[in-house]
Amino acid sequence: MPITEILEKNASLYPEDVALVEINPRSDEKKKVTWREYSLIETSTVDSFRSEITWSEFNKRSNRIANFLLSRGIKKGDKVAILLMNCLEWLPIYFGILKTGALAVPLNYRYTAEEIKYCLNKADCSAILFGPEFVGRMEDIAERIPFIKLSLYVGEDCPTFAESYDKLVTYCSSKSPEIKLTDDDEAAIYFSSGTTGFPKAIVHAHRSLMHSCKVEQNHHGQTKDDVFLCIPPLYHTGAKMHWFGSFLVGAKSVLLKGVKPEWIIRTVSEERCTIVWLLVPWAQDILDAIDRGDIKLEDYHLSQWRLMHIGAQPVPPSLIKRWKSVFPNHEYDTNYGLSESIGPGCVHLGVENIHKVGAIGKAGYGWKTKIVDENRKEVKRGDVGELAVSGPGVMLRYYNDKKSTDEVLGDGWLYTGDMAMEDEDGFIFLVDRKKDVVISGGENLYPVEIENFIRKNDAVKDVAVIGVPDPRLGEAAAAIIEVKEGFTLSEEEIKDFCMDLPKYKRPRVFIFDDIPRNPTGKIEKPKLREKYCGKSLVAKQIEK
């Protein structure tokens, strides 16, 4: 069934139950209101800090936006972009677009004006809904996107080049529009993260979205009583598809607008969250804050927190060992996926397999996996090859890009571009991105392996290994290291630490700098290559 029917079901079964909560700690800081004080204040005076909607209101808001879009000529097959920060309106707007039969096109909130223009054009969008954070960027391109017939502004003080969401949508009918939808209808276009070049437009059907709901709920056993804390941006498949497990069972979810460790822990405590999906840097920051004494766990209500899981990037085993020492009663899981495979879960570790931390797991619910060589022939167990996945969640295609589609889809398989190996127990270990492999003197070096080793150093907060030009070896491994606050680490110290690595795997270059990550936690290695490859600093270190 189309995913919109789940919303209708929840609104029917649980009309007065809370569906979504939005918490904005920044508003709290401006008001000088403490977390414990806000519960004593009239709700109407703190709407900007904490607000919520029921399943009934969620569905009504979606119906209003759907009926408005239909009244303005949006029809089945059209594309409608969403450019919003996480907020209570985000998901109702998303489902409102789906209810018209149009495709929802979420956009990365970090896009520049030119990148927004590129993506709107690439996906053939005819309408966009955007928030106050994007007024300047939208104004820059307003006259250069004539194909956008409707620009709808979600917020106060509507700019002159757009129309007001509040004024136009609020009074539309809240009855569900009678648009026939099927599993095979196209539902959404998601853009790839763009860490390896221009983002590609990924087309998914309702069938993919529904499968993602089932995968997430199967893996993590969400019930109506669970409370999911959602922190990552909703434009990305990872956050939304993890939320889908809660959506499927009508459970409450909390949108937290901020990633400070204290905000996360306080939200878990105040909202009685049971499931939290984190990115590697956030988990590290929480543990560091606890170690420093900035967070005292005894001050919070955390006994209900049952599951912490991580996705979107390789997970250092040392991080999970440290996490379990602080939170011994937590179940832990990791999930692997791509936007092309409708987000997380096509490979899944499983809470029962914590002894295999470091692996991304085995094929997820309803999925198949294989590891292949450059000719797409399966390699023997233990050998490194490219990971391929197959299942109901594989994308239909890259929009208007047959060449790129043909490069990654074949015989029902999606070839991920990730290098992996399978151990003797059938667990898959991610080795690296195909494009990130460093070939040094004819040897393949897999940066993730080296990064995981360096992260074991207590002074290392984050690390990225890239290939830099070397006149003799072709490429050499360079480690960019971000040092933890309050720690020191010299080049000689980290060189000595790396002596336990095989000689050919030891980085030849060490640079101390911040590690750039995109909103979904992936290291932005192209930025590091642009910054350091060919620079005299690197050349001098290699000469040493």
Does residue 104 share a domain with residue 157? yes
Please tell me the distance from the alpha carbon of residue 536 to that of residue 538, in angstroms, as a whole number.
5
Please tell me the distance from the alpha carbon of residue 273 to that of residue 306, in angstroms, as a whole number.
9
Amino acid identity, position 128: I
In-domain check, residue 284: no
Please tell me the distance from the alpha carbon of residue 373 to that of residue 376, in angstroms, as a whole number.
5
Boundary-marking domain end, from 258, 276, 297: 258
Does residue 188 share a domain with residue 324? no
Which conformational region is residue 34 in: left (phi greater than 0), alpha (psi within -120 to 50 degrees), or beta? beta
Does residue 249 share a domain with residue 395? no
Whether residue 34 has pLDDT greater than 60: no
Q: Are 336 and 311 in contact (CB under 8 A)?
A: yes
Helices 261-271 and 280-292: crossing angle in degrees, nearest 10, is 90
Buried b (16+ CB within 10 A) or exposed e, 447-457: bbbbbbbbbeb
Does residue 63 share a domain with residue 210? yes
Task: Kindly tell me the burial class for residue 260, based on how many C-beta atoms sit within 10 Å of its own C-beta (0-12, 13-18, 19 or more).
Answer: middle
Question: Would you give the DSSP letter of residue 333?
Answer: E
Q: Are 162 and 153 in contact (CB under 8 A)?
A: yes
Sorting pLDDT into bands at 50, 70 and 90, what band is 520?
low
Please tell me the distance from the alpha carbon of residue 439 to that of residue 505, in angstroms, as a whole number.
11
Does residue 189 share a domain with residue 45? yes
Does residue 469 share a domain with residue 368? no
State mean pLDDT over 276-302: 92
Lowest mean pLDDT among 144-153, 200-209, 331-340: 331-340
Whole-number pLDDT of residue 538: 40
Whole-number pLDDT of residue 542: 40
In-domain check, residue 10: yes
Cα–Cα separations (whole angstroms), residue 184 to 103, 214, 501: 13, 17, 50
Cα–Cα separations (whole angstroms), residue 178 to 95, 426, 441: 14, 47, 63
State mean pLDDT over 268-288: 92
The most confident of 68-77, 332-341, 466-475, by mean pLDDT: 68-77
Whether residue 473 has pLDDT greater than 70: no
Domain containing residue 474: CATH number: 3.30.300.30
pTM, rounded to two decimals: 0.82
Does residue 168 share a domain with residue 38? yes
β-sheet bridge partners, residue 468: 476
Let me know how long the chain is: 544
Does residue 165 share a domain with residue 113? yes
State mean pLDDT over 52-74: 98
Please tell me the distance from the alpha carbon of residue 164 to that of residue 132, in angstroms, as a whole number.
11
Please tell me the distance from the alpha carbon of residue 54 to that of residue 61, in angstroms, as a whole number.
11
In-domain check, residue 283: no
State mean pLDDT over 441-454: 79
Task: Kindly tell me the burial class for residue 399, based on how many C-beta atoms sit within 10 Å of its own C-beta (0-12, 13-18, 19 or more).
Answer: buried
Boundary-marking domain end, from 433, 452, 486: 433
Boundary-marking domain end, from 228, 243, 258: 258
Does residue 328 share a domain with residue 477? no
List all residues 6 or more positions away from 309 whose beta carbon is below 8 Å from its beta carbon.
220, 242, 275, 276, 277, 278, 332, 333, 334, 335
Whole-number pLDDT of residue 396: 97
Whether residue 535 has pLDDT greater than 50: no
Sorting pLDDT into bands at 50, 70 and 90, what band is 476?
confident
Cα torsion 295, 296, 301, 305: sign: positive
Amino acid identity, position 394: V
State mean pLDDT over 270-293: 92
| Residue carrying structure tokens 């590891």 | 371
In-domain check, residue 295: no
Number of separate domains in the chain: 3
Segment 132-175, tens digit of pLDDT: 999 999 999 999 999 999 999 999 999 999 999 999 998 899 99
- What is the DSSP annotation of 373-433? -TTSPBPPTTS-EEEEEESTTS-SEETT-HHHHHHHEETTEEEEEEEEEE-TTS-EEEEEE
Does residue 380 share a domain with residue 359? yes
What is the percent of the chain with per-residue pLDDT over 90, rounded to a whole number?
67
State mean pLDDT over 24-37: 51
Domain containing residue 394: CATH number: 2.30.38.10
Residue 420 or 203, more confident: 203
What is the percent of the chain with per-residue pLDDT over 70, rounded to a whole number?
90
- Residue whose C-alpha is closest to residue 234's, from 256, 212, 261, 209: 256
The tokens for 313 are 């990037």
Sorting pLDDT into bands at 50, 70 and 90, what band is 472?
low
Q: Are 215 and 361 in contact (CB under 8 A)?
A: no
In-domain check, residue 247: yes
Whole-number pLDDT of residue 191: 92
List all residues 6 or more positions away from 236 whose beta carbon is below 8 Å from its beta carbon.
106, 108, 190, 193, 339, 343, 519, 520
* Phi, psi of 297, deg, nearest 5: -60, -30
Please tell me the distance from the alpha carbon of residue 135 to that of residue 162, in angstroms, as a whole number.
9
Q: Are 85 and 130 in contact (CB under 8 A)?
A: no
In-domain check, residue 151: yes
Cα–Cα separations (whole angstroms), residue 142 to 125, 150, 155, 232, 234: 14, 11, 18, 28, 24
Cα–Cα separations (whole angstroms), residue 235 to 49, 159, 277, 472, 538: 22, 23, 16, 44, 37
Residue 150 or 438, more confident: 150
State mean pLDDT over 290-318: 89
Whole-number pLDDT of residue 86: 94
Segment 73-89, tens digit of pLDDT: 999 999 999 999 999 99
- Residue whose C-alpha is closest to residue 303's, from 272, 331, 324: 272
In-domain check, residue 286: no
Whole-number pLDDT of residue 128: 98
Torsion on CA atoms 122, 124, 126, 129, rounded to nearest 10: -40
Whole-number pLDDT of residue 26: 67
Does residue 344 share a domain with residue 383? yes
Cα–Cα separations (whole angstroms), residue 319 to 223, 274, 296: 28, 20, 19
Coil, strand or helix at 542: helix
Whether residue 178 has pLDDT greater than 60: yes
Segment 190-199, tens digit of pLDDT: 998 654 457 8
**Average pLDDT of the chain, as a whole number:** 88
In-domain check, residue 291: no
Q: Are 403 and 467 in contact (CB under 8 A)?
A: no
SS (H, E, C) 499-510: HHCCHHHCCCEE
Whether residue 29 has pLDDT greater than 90: no
Does residue 239 share a domain with residue 133? yes
Q: Are 40 and 270 in contact (CB under 8 A)?
A: no
Q: Are 275 and 335 in contact (CB under 8 A)?
A: no
Q: Which domain holds residue 505?
A: 438-543
Buried b (16+ CB within 10 A) or exposed e, 296-325: eeeebebeebbbbbbbbbbbbebbbebbee
